[in-house]
């Protein structure tokens, strides 16, 4: 699958940066059960108005579809991983290497031939996990749309 989205920061740290970003999420999924899939997801984003980037991957993830037989299937997903960033001057991050976590909910629209579309609303967290300076984390919301290739 290949997905893209637009996101924005939410004020959880003391500096409350007002940033937006665009992101790409290439994703591989392996069925574990009829309604459960194991996910490995890549991540690259460009941030503005403060110019910067975050890139990484989520090697551990899962998606749970609530109803497999519906054409429009609701689901939840979650992933954890690592990433690198140029946004080191933000109080919320304080270092180039960071940990990533995301979770969300969406709708998967099934199409004949397997060319499914999906739309998802995610919470995305970038954090140094207490390894340097402050550990407030950069917290964002993102609207993602994508297609199975």
Whether 46 has a pLDDT exceeding 90, the answer reads: yes
Phi, psi values for residue 85, rounded to 5°: -145, 155
Domains detected in the chain: 2-147 (2.40.160.20)
What's the whole-model pTM score?
Answer: 0.89
Residue pLDDT, tens place only, 73-97: 999 999 999 999 998 777 777 789 9
The secondary structure of 27-45 as a DSSP string is: EEEEEEETTEEEEEEEEEE
The secondary structure of 31-99 as a DSSP string is: EEETTEEEEEEEEEEEEETTTEEEEEEEEEEEEEES-SSSSEEEEEEEEEEEEEES-TTSTTT-SSEEE
Whether 12 has a pLDDT exceeding 70, the answer reads: no
The Cα 125–Cα 9 span in angstroms is 10
113 by DSSP, 3-state: which? Answer: helix
């Amino acid at each position: 699958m290949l997905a893209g989205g637009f996101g924005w920061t939410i004020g959880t740290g003391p500096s409350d940066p007002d940033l937006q970003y665009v992101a790409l999420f290439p994703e591989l999924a392996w069925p574990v059960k009829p309604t459960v899939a194991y996910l490995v997801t890549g991540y690259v984003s460009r941030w503005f108005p403060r110019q910067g980037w975050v890139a990484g991957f989520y090697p551990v993830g899962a998606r749970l579809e609530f109803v497999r037989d519906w054409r429009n299937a609701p689901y939840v997903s979650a992933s954890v991983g690592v990433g690198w960033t140029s946004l080191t001057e933000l109080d919320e991050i304080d270092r180039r290497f960071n940990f990533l976590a995301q979770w969300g909910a969406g709708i998967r629209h099934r199409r004949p031939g397997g060319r499914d579309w999906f739309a998802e609303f995610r919470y995305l967290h970038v954090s140094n996990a207490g390894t340097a300076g402050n550990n407030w984390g950069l917290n964002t919301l993102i609207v993602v749309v994508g297609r199975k290739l």
